[in-house]
Amino acid sequence: MGKIISLCKRRGFVFPSSEIYGGFGSCYDFGPLGVLMKNNIKKAWWEEMIRNHENIVGLDAAILMKPEVWQASGHLTAGFADLLVECKSCHKRFRLDEIHEIQHPELNKLTSGVCPECGGQLTEPRKFNLMMRTLVGPVEEEAATTYLRAETCQGIYVNFENILNSMRFKIPFGIAQIGKAFRNEITPGNFIYRTREFEQMEMEWFCHPKEAEKYFDYWKKERLNWYLNLGIKKDNLRLREVKKEERPHYAKETVDIEYKFPFGWGELEAINNRGDWDLSNHSRFSGKDLRYYDEGTKEKYFPYIIETSDGADRSFLAFLCDAYQEIPGGRTKTTKPTKEVEILLKLNKKIAPIKVAILPLVKNKPGLVKKAKEVYQLLKPHFVCQYDELGSIGRRYRRMDEVGTVTSVTCDFQTLKDNIVTLRDRDSMKQIKVEISKLKEIIQKILEGEEFLKLGKLIK
Ligand code: GAP
């Protein structure tokens, strides 16, 4: 994990938040390459949901909502709390489920726990609510207290009727949303895996209760395939059925998609059958009847909700971990192996932050630099490009491989005579010759997945 964190900092993917002030407990900022990559993940998810399904629409609801929403959803009551224990000696706090040494069937009656850090005695567990409270308005009074949303989906449920009516939908249909969520986690950690501010990509599928099982199964498969299609290795993914006692308070059934992170298997996404928990509770608390009326069958009922809830930050981490490779001595066979360890980030082409690097062979020949900058200007409106002239060409290729740049364009002395450049493939390191006039079209084909070697004359 340390190597991933170091790459993220060194190459501008992720920085600790407020770093010049010593950092701020498990908060992170996405740097220039990080924001490109995270946006690519969100775009891939959005396209999958909205473009590939005709009856799913998008929403961007406010983060701040009336506190009653959280009362109705059950998040302010015992449902949304972790059991917390504190060490009486070092005062460190732990989630009870973290204390692996303690295998007590009745979690609330824990008596024999010891602190994993210092061996001190632990307190009795108590419930700790994870909602983040905030004040809205200039006057610090009770009426102005609300919460930062702990899951984005509540904004979807309170808009169920608005969307049903404005889009003239019939059940089944889905609403998708991407946005920030906040939880006062007791023990954030493992880099961006568990943080207090994070981003979710959630889709809520409203269906007839009798069809809930069918759609639960459907979405489980769809979501697993999404990761596989974006190149995550099959062996690093698994589905885990979540037992009743572990399930969130709103769920009738939960399956987690887990990824094999360097620190072990961890939840990447939750697929929940939320039954009618949300719509029936919002009906009860708001006084608004949110039942659906089926014109055909004359039936009035609360639709069941099948939810797919993905963490954008966890997906980001999983894509990085899965793509990361170290090659001691380097991959090049044409030159002597070095003592260095070469890093290759074999990211899926859709996810990679930079698509094209433009490199003059050397930087001290003005004609070559000028040509390479012309190529850069030609490609920049169409692809995320980076121009780089610093260091030897080999070093520049390594630098691009390290951040997963899909392809590199090199302008050499011959280019000045014939307007032909060299295109290098990140994964195979193969090189082809391509006319500048055809470059845009060929790069487009590469990004769409066409076989590299079929697109130009092989030179290496
Ligand atoms: N609406 C359902 C829901 O929020 P969840 O299992 O609590 O379900 C869904 O969260 C996903 O959100 C998780 O699978 C994870 O990817 C992400 N997530 C949850 N808590 C997180 C945290 N503290 N830091 C980063 N991501 C988190």
**What confidence tens digit (pLDDT) does each residue in 272-326 have?**
999 999 999 999 999 999 999 999 999 999 999 999 999 999 999 999 999 999 9
- Residues 182-196: what's their mean pLDDT? 93
Q: Does 98 have pLDDT greater than 80?
A: no
Alpha carbon distances (Å) from 187 to 26, 52, 413: 9, 38, 57
User: Which pLDDT belongs to residue 100?
Assistant: 52
Binding site membership of 202 for ligand 1 (Cβ less than 6 Å): yes
* Percentage of residues of the chain with pLDDT beyond 70: 94
Give residue 259's identity as a one-letter amino acid code. Y
Residues 437-452 pLDDT 10s:
999 999 999 999 998 8
Residues 129-171 pLDDT 10s:
899 999 988 776 666 889 999 999 999 999 999 999 999 999 9
CA proximity to 245, closest of 232, 254, 237? 254
User: Which pLDDT belongs to residue 460?
Assistant: 59
User: Which pLDDT belongs to residue 231?
Assistant: 96
User: Which pLDDT belongs to residue 458?
Assistant: 75
User: Which pLDDT belongs to residue 83?
Assistant: 80
Instruction: Tell me the H-state helices in 24-128.
Output: 32-46, 67-73
The Cα–Cα gap between 207 and 255 comes to 18
Number of H helices, E strands in the chain: 12, 24
Average pLDDT, the chain: 92
Q: Higher pLDDT residue, 354 or 25?
A: 354
Phi first, then psi: give them for residue 322, nearest 5 degrees. Answer: -70, -30
DSSP for 299-334 reads: EEEPPEEEEEEEEHHHHHHHHHHHHEEEEET-S-SS
Binding site membership of 48 for ligand 1 (Cβ less than 6 Å): no
Residues 324-371 pLDDT 10s:
999 988 887 666 656 678 999 999 999 999 999 999 999 999 999 999
Binding site membership of 258 for ligand 1 (Cβ less than 6 Å): no
User: Which pLDDT belongs to residue 103?
Assistant: 43
User: Which pLDDT belongs to residue 149?
Assistant: 97
Structure tokens at 313: 């930050």
Longest CA–CA span in the chain (Å) reads 81
Cα 407 to ligand 1 centroid, rounded to whole Å: 34
State whether residue 357 is helix, strand or coil: strand
Element (H, E) at 418: helix 413-418
User: Which pLDDT belongs to residue 111?
Assistant: 45
Q: Higher pLDDT residue, 123 or 224?
A: 224
User: Which pLDDT belongs to residue 338?
Assistant: 65
The Cα–Cα gap between 300 and 295 comes to 9
What residue's CA is closest to ligand 1, atom 24?
194
Q: Does 108 have pLDDT greater than 50?
A: no
Residues 48-84 pLDDT 10s:
999 999 899 999 999 999 999 999 999 998 678 778 8
Cα 302 to ligand 1 centroid, rounded to whole Å: 25
pTM above 0.85, yes or no: yes
User: Which pLDDT belongs to residue 381?
Assistant: 98
Q: Does 432 have pLDDT greater than 90?
A: yes
| Nearest ligand 1 atom to alpha carbon 267 | 14
Bridge partner residues of 332 (DSSP): none
Binding site membership of 313 for ligand 1 (Cβ less than 6 Å): yes
User: Which pLDDT belongs to residue 175?
Assistant: 98
Cα 149 to ligand 1 centroid, rounded to whole Å: 12
User: Which pLDDT belongs to residue 84?
Assistant: 83
Cα 317 to ligand 1 centroid, rounded to whole Å: 14
Asked if 382 and 329 count as a contact pair (C-beta separation under 8 A), the reply is: no
Q: Does 192 have pLDDT greater than 50?
A: yes
